[in-house]
Amino acid sequence: MTPALQLSHFSAAFLFALFASVVFGVTQRENGRDMFRYGGYCFVVFLGGMYGAGWFMWLLHH
């Protein structure tokens, strides 16, 4: 049995954000420029949300 791929939480969230942003960008906008901008926006919001939630939990813990 091949060993399972072990990704850190950050790596997994990064890849999730990347793939989801590509699909969101391509499917939710009409032309290439808007697709790129919207995909980038989604990616930043995904990662920003992750960092924000992480710091929020850190503050709750301390």
Partner 1 sequence: MAKTEISASEARPREAAVPFNPMIIVAPLVGWLVPGAGHLVQRRWIRGLLLMVSVVLMFSLGLAMNGKVYQPNAGDLLDILGFVGDLGTGGLYLLSRFQEWGSAAIAAAAANYGTIFIVAAGLLNIMCVVDAYHIAQGRKQ
Compute the least distance from the CB of residue 27 to partner 1, in Å: 4
Compute the least distance from the CB of residue 22 to partner 1, in Å: 5
Distance CA 36, CA 21 (A): 9
Position 41 contacts partner 1 (CB under 8 A)? no
Position 19 contacts partner 1 (CB under 8 A)? yes
> Which of 43, 44, 50, 52 lies closest to 10, judged by CA?
50
Count other Cβ atoms within 10 Å, centred on residue 39.
21
Q: List contacts with partner 1 (CB under 8 A).
A: 4-7, 9, 12, 15-16, 18-20, 22-24, 26-27, 30-31
